[in-house]
Amino acid sequence: MTDKSKCCTCGYEWETGKNGRHSCSDNFKRRINKATDIAARFGQIDGAHHKTWVIDQMVRTLTGDDYPAFVDYASEDIGEDGPFRDEWDCGIAP
């Protein structure tokens, strides 16, 4: 198994010891393009559960490895009677 190094700005990973040169802004642009592509392809499909799926897929794309931390953060504020833990809704794929 090879060790991996990771850019703490954009999440780009490379084999430790190898050249890890990359463009953080290119990685961010790639993520944004992927997220907006999901919105363009699936964002207008009827059904709240499908729109919830689109939001979840966009968040996964944009947050990458930080997705579990996002779900923790988002789950804290779900609910009508003040903050309590609930499950982040991943929706249903169209």
For Zn ion, the binding residues (CB under 5 A) are 7, 9-10, 12, 24
Smallest gap from Cβ 14 to Zn ion, in A, equals: 10
Smallest gap from Cβ 8 to Zn ion, in A, equals: 8
* Closer to Zn ion by Cβ: residue 12 or 70: 12
Smallest gap from Cβ 7 to Zn ion, in A, equals: 3
Report the alpha-carbon distance of residue 40 to residue 61 in Å, rounded.
Answer: 14
Cα angle at 75 between 62 and 84, to 5 degrees?
A: 165
C-beta of residue 55 within 8 angstroms of C-beta of residue 91:
yes
